[in-house]
Amino acid sequence: MLKIIILQRISKIQLSLPIVILLMELLFSNEEKNDERIEILNTLNIPFVVFGMSYNTSVSFVANDNYTSCKSAAHELIRSGINSCHILIANKIPTNIERKNGVIDAFSEAGLDNIKVFYDITCASDAYALVSSDISNHRLPDLYFVSGDDKAIGVIKALNDGNIKFLNAHQSLDMMTFLLLNFCLLA
């Protein structure tokens, strides 16, 4: 059985202390560039897997094909008439960069350049504030591409609070998600 532990920051000084690790394997997410946790695990010869793309090509990781899936989704949306896009992502981790690049490449291949990328959108309230600003400044795009289910909820709430009708009787809200988030928690 795989034990799952999210490692918090461990300083190199702690390595001098006796360490007892009763794990066969280790899985963690949110890898950072030059992540100290990877160095420590390698030093201790502890096998591990990163959930999501890794910065380091020698590290084992499990991930979706973020680039291709987002590029394909963007192509379909463009075929349906989408001409402009705001991309909202939290930070420049490999997963987010691949998703962003897939969308940008699809727009570029379609000859569309009306794309803006917004970084540091880390939670629903950040997304809500950005979309509310777009509404008040009359700069709504045709599409919000949001990397993160929690942030998508902020976008939907801002559109709803701004009385922006993004669905009519013949449409439904489609969401492509990589995570399973309980949307009922925010009702």
- CATH number, domain of 96, equals 3.40.50.2300
- Report the alpha-carbon distance of residue 116 to residue 181 in Å, rounded: 26
Window from 55-59, 139-143, 171-175 with minimum mean pLDDT? 171-175
Is 124 a member of any domain?
yes
Supply the pLDDT for residue 5: 37
User: Which domain range does residue 103 map to?
Assistant: 66-186
Supply the pLDDT for residue 28: 56
Q: Do 82 and 110 lie in a common domain?
A: yes
In the chain, where does DSSP find H-type helix?
A: 36-43, 66-79, 94-109, 124-136, 149-161
Q: Do 53 and 78 lie in a common domain?
A: no
As for how many domains the chain has, the answer is 2
Q: Name the residue type at position 65.
A: D
Q: Do 89 and 181 lie in a common domain?
A: yes
- Intra-chain end-to-end CA distance of the chain, in Å: 36
Q: What secondary structure letter does DSSP report for 56?
A: S
Task: Give me the mean pLDDT over the 119-139 stretch.
Answer: 94
Report which of 85, 80, 73 is spatially closest to residue 140, judged by C-alpha positions.
Answer: 85
Supply the pLDDT for residue 136: 95
Which pLDDT band holds residue 20 (cuts at 50, 70, 90)?
A: very low
Q: Do 29 and 113 lie in a common domain?
A: no
Which is higher by pLDDT, 38 or 32? 38
Q: Do 141 and 75 lie in a common domain?
A: yes
The model carries a pTM of: 0.67
Q: Do 98 and 177 lie in a common domain?
A: yes
Q: Do 57 and 127 lie in a common domain?
A: no
Q: What are phi and psi of 180, to 5 degrees?
A: -105, 105
Residue 174, token pair as written in the block: 């489609």
Q: What secondary structure letter does DSSP report for 67?
A: H
- Report the alpha-carbon distance of residue 185 to residue 118 in Å, rounded: 26
- Report the alpha-carbon distance of residue 86 to residue 141 in Å, rounded: 6
